[in-house]
Amino acid sequence: MPLLDDRVQKQVRTALAALQAPVRLVMFTQGEGGALECAFCGETRQLVEEIAKLSDKIAVDVRDFQGDADLARFYGIDKIPAIVMETAGAPPRDQGIRFYGIPSGYEFSTFIEDLRMVSRGSAGLGAPTQQAVAGITRPVRIQVFVTPT
């Protein structure tokens, strides 16, 4: 049973038609189907895979949070389900974009818009913001808490 119905698939396919550079999604899940399964891991993986099918510019790498603990540490992943969205390539380029929990509802639109942004390689921020951000020298973690609406 797909999560995205025909109508949504069509919309997403159109939204992703203009993707230029390839985007890589690294999804961390855990023990699906077993006793350790996290509540939304299976659904999140399915969603990511369904989205990736709608564009040949999106690659998905599904990893196990415990089995691939070194990679999880590399990306600073501390909970699951987690999705890293990065610029594909050899090597891929981590852009610091993370989704914890399933990106549904309003955040589904964010996810699609992020794919376009990462593919474009430009955030489209205003000049004053770009200038300010260039002055950041310390590690910054911005967490935005949302609910599925």
Partner 1 sequence: MLLAHKLALASPHITGDMVEVSEFPHLAAKYRVYGVPRTVINEVIQIEGAVPENALVTELMKVEDEATMARLSAELNA
Say if CB 73 and CB 37 are below 8 A apart: no
Provide the mask over 15-54, with x wherever binding to partner 1 is found by CB under 8 A and - wherever it is not.
------------------------xx--------------
For partner 1, the closer CB: 53 or 116? 116
| Contact partners, residue 93, CB within 8 Å, separation at least 6 | 86, 87
Which residue has tokens 């509540």?
Answer: 39
Residues near partner 1 (CB under 8 A), total: 48
For residue 127, state whether it binds partner 1 (rule: CB under 8 A). no
Please state, in angstroms and as integers, the Cα–Cα distance from residue 4 to each residue in 15, 48, 122, 135, following that order: 14, 11, 28, 41
Q: Which residues bind partner 1 (CB under 8 A)?
A: 39-40, 76, 79, 81, 95-104, 106-107, 110, 113-114, 117-118, 121-126, 128-130, 132-148
